[in-house]
Every structure is written in structure tokens, then in C-alpha cells.
Amino acid sequence: MDIICPHCGAKSGEKKFVDNFCIDCFKRYIDVDTPAAVDILVCRHCDRVKLGKWQEKNANAMGEFILKQCNVHYDTAKAKVTEDGECDVSFTIRAKGAIIEVSEHVGIKFVPTMCENCSRQSSGYFEAIIQLRGAGDAVEKMRDKMVAILERETFIPKIDESKRGPDIYVGSRQAASELIERLGLKPKISNKLHGVKDGQRIYRTTFSIRL
Ligand SMILES: [Zn+2]
Ligand SMILES: [Zn+2]
């Protein structure tokens, strides 16, 4: 004998039932708590977005970030950021022995701001200087290689070109030191006290490299 859905009157012979309800009405009892919209900080200067940390805009990473803001106990979840900058999310949820798929729509609100890199850059901040010295050709090649990599990881407020060779100013000491190590270079390192901030001594590091 057919069960009749107490909510909409559908018959169990005609569609899928979970418990005493048809699948559609049963879905309404599942608590899918998704936000109407998720705020994502976007840097007005470099157009990167903050998804935990600052990074390039990427649909998959934004989808993951939005799923984390959804308060849903799901088995599996998918998120697809659409062209118009919104996000379709779908969850498979196990309930009463059935696997139910629920889709929702989450808006994305881009909140313009300035990332740490850009705000430091605009204030002339830097932590390290890489000095390249040696014969012209090798120095130029190394400078271009370093700048290309450093620009992805930090920022370069300026490059001083003197007769002795370029001084590359670098936003992050760590990025500079890691790059130099990765390239197998042996720098002469000197630290200069720049000032004191919040009781901490601030050093600027110069890495002098002879090629
Ligand atoms: Zn129903
Ligand atoms: Zn930025």
C-alpha cells in the first residue's frame, strides 16, 4: 500500500520516500544552514583575495572557503563559483538511511581593502636588501630571476641601480633569505638596527652576493 506524504500528498508509489515523507518534503526538515552571502576581502591594489591567507583569485579556493562558512554536516560537498561571482553549493547528506542531495546558492560579497603587502609597500616598508655584485651579464640575469620570484611572494618597493650593481629592496626578510638559499648562493649578511617598535628591535638585513 502506498504511503501518502502528509505534507504534499504525493504517493510512495510515484516518488522516492524517506520515512513517511516524500524526498522533497523530507529535504525541508534537514537543517542546511548556509549564509545568504559570504564576505571575501579583496585588495583594491593587487586584486588578491583573503581566504585564510592572501592569495590570487581562484574559483576552487574561493569555493572551499565558502563551504567552510556553511554550517552543514555533510558527507560530501561541492562548490562552484559562477561567472557572475556567486556560488552554487551542493551537499550530500546522510539522513534516516537515505542519501539526500541539497543545493543552495550563496552570494559572494567582495569587500575592498588593502592587503598587508600593499599597505606596507605603499608606506615604503622593507625588511631586506639584496645587493648583487659582479660582472654585468650574470648580475642582470640574476636580478631579473630574483625579481620575478620575489614579486610573487612579497613585494619590491624599489631597486637601486648603482655602478657597483643593483640593490633590490625586499618586503620580507624571510622571502629574501629563502630565495637566496634555494638558488644556492652564499651571501654576506649584515643586520642593521632600524628602530624599535612595540619594544621589539627592528632589523634590516642586507644580503650581499658576489656572483
Ligand atoms: Zn511531500
Ligand atoms: Zn594587495
Question: In tens digits, what is the pLDDT along the chain, a chain of 211 residues?
Answer: 889 999 999 999 999 898 889 988 888 877 788 999 999 999 988 999 999 999 999 999 999 999 999 988 889 999 999 888 899 999 998 888 888 888 999 999 999 998 988 888 878 889 999 999 998 899 999 999 999 999 888 889 899 998 899 999 999 999 999 999 999 999 999 999 888 878 888 889 999 999 9
Query: Which ligand lies nearest the alpha carbon of 112?
Result: 2
Residue ranges of domains in the chain: 17-113, 124-210
Q: Ligand 2 mean position to 56 CA, how many Å?
A: 10
Question: Which phi and psi (to 5°) does residue 152 adopt?
Answer: -80, -30
Q: Ligand 1 mean position to 25 CA, how many Å?
A: 4
- Tracing cell 624599535 back to the chain, one arrives at 196
- Tracing cell 640575469 back to the chain, one arrives at 141
Q: Ligand 2 mean position to 102 CA, how many Å?
A: 36
Query: Which ligand lies nearest the alpha carbon of 155?
Result: 2
Neighbours of 45 (CB within 10 A): 15
Question: What pLDDT, in 10s, does the model give residues 99-135?
Answer: 888 899 999 999 999 898 888 887 888 999 999 999 8
Q: Ligand 2 mean position to 45 CA, how many Å?
A: 5
pLDDT at 85: 82
Q: Which residues line ion ligand 2, judged by CB < 5 Å? A: 43, 45-46, 115, 118
Answer yes or no: pTM beyond 0.85: no
Dist. CA 85–CA 109, nearest whole Å = 9
Q: Ligand 1 mean position to 37 CA, how many Å?
A: 29
pLDDT at 87: 95
Query: Which ligand lies nearest the alpha carbon of 113?
Result: 2
Kindly compute the dihedral angle of the four CA atoms of residues 195, 200, 206, 207, in this order, to the nearest 10 degrees.
Answer: 180
Neighbours of 96 (CB within 10 A): 11
Query: Which ligand lies nearest the alpha carbon of 121?
Result: 2
Kind of pairing, strands 53-55 and 165-170? unpaired
Q: Ligand 1 mean position to 17 CA, how many Å?
A: 8
Query: Which ligand lies nearest the alpha carbon of 114?
Result: 2
